[in-house]
Amino acid sequence: MAKHEHVREPLFHIAKRDTPAWWRAWGIRAIALVLALVVSGLVAFLLTGENPLKLYATMLEGAFGTSRRVWGLMQNLAMLLCVSVAVTPAFKMRFWNIGAEGQVLIGGLAAAACMILLGDSIPHGLLLLTVTVASIAAGALWALIPAVFRAKWQTNETLFTLMMNYIAIQLVSFFTYRFSVPKGSGQVGVINRATHAGWMPTLGKYDYLLNILIVLAVTVMMAVYLKHSKHGYELAVVGESESTARYIGIDVKKVIIRTMLISGAVCGIAGLLLVSGTDHTISRDTAAGRGFTAIMVSWLAKFDPVAMILTSFLIVFLEKGATEISTAFGLNDSFSEIITGIIIFFIIGCEFFIRYTVRFRRREGKSA
């Protein structure tokens, strides 16, 4: 090593912050949001020549313009939130469950199968109960399989849960063909449209209110479970260190299996709400990628179920707003995805500046 009289200090370096005050963290997030809006506005202007302010107004209009859109937004928010809450206990345990898409789909498939096969033969109340139990059980089972393999044989849960998605998708394809109406069309169509058998009831004239309330209840219960129950504590310890967990007498295998069962069951609820609650059909598109978006929502909220209301709101709002932009200005949907991408980039990027600080080289540091 060459000998230097002065060690050259780099132009800037990155240091970890202490836990920042909440106002500071939120301040950084606000700045990031403003920057995101400015940059996406600039990109929008350069690409389309439209006034950025008009674009933002259109986004708001798309999300909140009519009561229907507000309800639509809330419904989408609830569904994304439900899946995000579902993956959270597994993530907190550092069990990378990226199989939520499949767990939701298989739950939905179970609901649809019960509605189709038992639609005429048992009373509606009993059918709804069967549909509910079946979809929750199916979601739980789909999560249980990789959990058991991980607990007993240390298989890689990321790959395992990912592969389970494809199996679920293919199963749904197979059964949509078997159940298709008309023959061979590959479409199930709305199940029991005349009798509404197996459909979840609606509260008054609000189609989505029951869904939203159920998801809200699940979210609150999950928050309590994670923060205030012994189970919640155990899975956090397993996440921090399996050895520590074993040392203090936690049955790691049991915790892994139990947590994944809960994770899968909540995914099953999401499948139930989608099939029996709103779509009344099943297809490969039923989960609509929520199983993957949920990963981002859960991470952004730092595994806090209540904060996930905010992060899923952000994602759903961006989706709705961006889609409205492409409809209103006759642009391709890819354009709205560019805008969404820019905004999410800033939002995720700002978390870095919350946890770390950038220190520039001080003037005196320059060699004289």
Partner 1 sequence: MKRKSAFLLACLTAGALGMGVLTGCGEGGGSGELSKSTIKVGLICLHDENSTYDLNFINAMEEAKKNLGLSDDQIIIKKNIPETNECKEAASDLADRGCNIIFADSFGHESYMIEAAEKYPDVQFCHATGTMAHTEKKSNFHDAFASIYEGRYLAGIAAGLKLNEMIDAGKIKAEDAVMGYVGAFTYAEVISGYTSFYLGAKSVCPSTTMKVQFTGSWYDETAEKEAATTLLSKGCVLISQHADSMGAPTACENAGVPNIAYNGSTRDACPNTFIVSPRINWAPYYEYAINAVLNGTSIDYDWTGNLSTGSVLLTEVNEQAAAPGTQAAIDEAASKLKAGTLHVFDTACFTVGGKQLESYKADVDTDADYTPDTEVIKDGYFHESEYRSAPYFDLAIDGIEQLNTKF
Positions in the binding site for partner 1 (CB under 8 A): 22, 64, 66-72, 74, 116, 173, 177, 180-187, 189-190, 193, 206, 212, 216, 220, 223, 227, 278-281, 283, 285-286, 288, 304, 306-307, 309-310, 313, 323, 326-327, 330, 332-333
CB of 109 or CB of 257, closer to partner 1: 109
Number of neighbours of residue 41 by Cβ within 10 angstroms = 18
Least distance to partner 1, CB of residue 8, Å: 42
Question: Which segments within the chain are labelled E, that is strand?
Answer: 12-16, 356-360
Tell how far CA 327 is from the center of its chain: 25
Least distance to partner 1, CB of residue 172, Å: 12
What distance in Å separates the CA atoms of residue 280 and residue 144, rounded to the nearest whole number?
A: 26
Least distance to partner 1, CB of residue 219, Å: 8
How far is residue 264 from each of residues 105, 140, 253, 326, measured CA to CA in Å?
11, 4, 16, 35
What distance in Å separates the CA atoms of residue 128 and residue 116, rounded to the nearest whole number?
A: 12
247 phi, psi to nearest 5 deg: -60, -40
Least distance to partner 1, CB of residue 194, Å: 11
| Interacting residues of 233 by C-beta distance below 8 A, sequence separation 6+ | none
What distance in Å separates the CA atoms of residue 312 and residue 44, rounded to the nearest whole number?
A: 24
CB of 64 or CB of 96, closer to partner 1: 64
Least distance to partner 1, CB of residue 111, Å: 14
CB of 32 or CB of 63, closer to partner 1: 63
CB of 136 or CB of 223, closer to partner 1: 223
Least distance to partner 1, CB of residue 328, Å: 8
CB of 103 or CB of 286, closer to partner 1: 286
Q: Which of 47, 49, 138 is nearest to 99 (CA)?
A: 138
Query: What is the Cα Rg of the chain in Å?
Result: 24
| Interacting residues of 361 by C-beta distance below 8 A, sequence separation 6+ | 9, 10, 11, 12
CB of 264 or CB of 305, closer to partner 1: 305
Least distance to partner 1, CB of residue 191, Å: 9
Least distance to partner 1, CB of residue 287, Å: 10
Q: Which two tokens stand for residue 145?
A: 């399989």
CB of 149 or CB of 175, closer to partner 1: 175
CB of 8 or CB of 178, closer to partner 1: 178
Phi-psi region of 75 (alpha: psi -120 to 50; beta: other; left: phi over 0): alpha
